[in-house]
Amino acid sequence: MSNIFKKTLLYDFYGELLTKHQKEIYELYHLNDFSLGEISEQLKISRQGVHDTLKRCEKQLENYENKLQLVDKFLINKQNVEKIYNYASEILDSFNEDKQSQEIVANRIVSIQETCNRILEDL
């Protein structure tokens, strides 16, 4: 998993547990691509202070993941649901040749796929 992807997931899952101040600095740096200097100037705090806050945020996010493993679980669930989706696609494909009772099955399979999409949105 790429470092940036991991950081994004960690923030997605645990960002709400940071303080408002920490979130502001974390977002300016990681989402809005501000430099340490630009953040320091905008928020009127020292460059070192910005640096320390970012390090502390990362440590806290990693710490939450060590305890709750939400990112890990999310990746496993996502993989499993994608598997379901692909199985369903294979069934649909197998019915391109055989037209028997296709309608009932096709309806159900579309429902399966819609449900998979809903799960993926919510995970």
Residues within the interface to its own copies (CB under 8 A): 13-14, 16-17, 64, 67-68, 70, 73, 76-77, 80-81, 83-84, 87-88, 90-91, 94-95, 98, 100-101, 104-105, 108-109, 111-112, 115-116, 118-119, 122-123
Q: Encoding tokens for residue 46?
A: 């020292």
Q: What length is written for the chain?
A: 123
- Least distance from C-beta 33 to its own copies, angstroms? 26
- Least distance from C-beta 19 to its own copies, angstroms? 12
Distance CA 24, CA 26 (A): 6
Q: For residues 31 and 110, which CB has a smaller minimum distance to its own copies in the complex?
A: 110
Distance CA 78, CA 114 (A): 15
